[in-house]
Structure 1
């Protein structure tokens, strides 16, 4: 493999890694959106319990610096609220 091809591959890899890091959203930001949606949502008792459990689990993961799992739980809560 010549140096030009190596340089091109290294550049593509660097670009991919940079793009992946930009795609991550801090769970604290997502939590703000979820809390706002929750305060405006009109839910049945069963749905409210489910949403609140998902939010609380997400907060636990967020506090543990597990942003990916926290955001996944927050997404589930938003889906359960119809958002």
Structure 2
């Protein structure tokens, strides 16, 4: 019985480590995409209205990225890149 508990405990601990590492790894893509969008923004020639849209999308992307919602963050950043023609 003690062996079963020990094996189960080790399995749970290993599973938690895998989930934690996957969650940490998932945060990197929105960070990378944000970096790329900011680089594109520095050279973009945009009207004031388009720059306001890009800045709004960037703020929304940062909020979602900080909440580990990479999918929505990446969507906002992709929309910003479209406005910039990238």
TM-score (norm 1): 0.69
Which sections of structure 1, spanning at least 5 residues, go unmatched? 1-23
1:43-83 Cα shifts (integer Å, max 9, x gaps): 10000000110011000000000000000000000001111
| 1: CA distance, partners of 2:62 / 2:45 | 21
Q: Secondary structure at the match of 1:50?
A: helix
Q: CA deviation at 1:28?
A: 0.2
Secondary structure of residue in 1 paired with 2:45: coil
Kindly report the root-mean-square deviation, in angstroms, between the aligned alpha carbons of the 2 structures: 1.6
Of the three residues 48, 53, 57, the one matched with 1:50 is 53
Matched, 1:35 2:38: yes
Task: Note the alpha carbon deviations across 1:23-59, whole angstroms, 9 max, x for none.
Answer: x771001001000000111110000000110011000
Which structure shows the higher helix fraction? 2
Which consecutive aligned stretches of 4+ in structure 1 deviate over 3 angstroms post-superposition? none
Larger Rg: 2
